[in-house]
């Protein structure tokens, strides 16, 4: 059974929520839907598996400092599929 990654809200106000996610290997965010547009800033290099509701798994390679953005509405679970701890900061735009 997969355990849940550690989410630490670093800042929240009426415009943004900033959360740092820390994952050991095989830890997961759990399945969730993104309520807001968001930006992810990897803190460490790592590998993830993104699992969609239909069970499709998409592998991604994260590089520290190489950000990406996604629109609201996405539903998925993110798993650290690498062999080392993984961390990223998620910035949600309210």
Tell me the per-residue pLDDT of 2-48, one tens digit each, with 9 for 90 and over: 689 999 999 999 999 999 999 999 999 999 999 999 999 999 999 99
* Inter-residue contact 39 to 93 (CB < 8 Å): yes
pTM of this prediction? 0.93
Q: How many Å apart are CA 15 and CA 38, to the nearest integer?
A: 12
Q: State residue 31 phi and psi, 5-degree precision.
A: -70, 135
Closest CA to 49 of 38, 35, 62: 62
Q: What fold, for 6-88?
A: Jelly Rolls (2.60.120)
Strand order in the sheet with 37-42: 6-12, 16-23, 86-93, 37-42, 68-70
Q: Specify the pLDDT at position 2.
A: 64
Domain segments of the chain as ranges: 6-88
């Amino acid at each position: 059974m997969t355990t849940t990654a550690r989410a630490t809200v670093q800042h929240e106000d009426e415009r943004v929520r900033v959360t740092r996610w820390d994952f050991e290997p095989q830890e997961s965010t759990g399945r969730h839907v993104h309520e807001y547009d968001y930006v992810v800033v990897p803190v460490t290099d790592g590998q993830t598996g993104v699992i969609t509701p239909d069970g499709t798994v998409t592998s991604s390679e994260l590089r520290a400092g190489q950000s990406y953005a996604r629109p609201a509405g996405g539903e998925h679970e993110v798993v650290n599929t690498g062999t080392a701890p993984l961390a990223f900061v998620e910035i949600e735009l309210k």
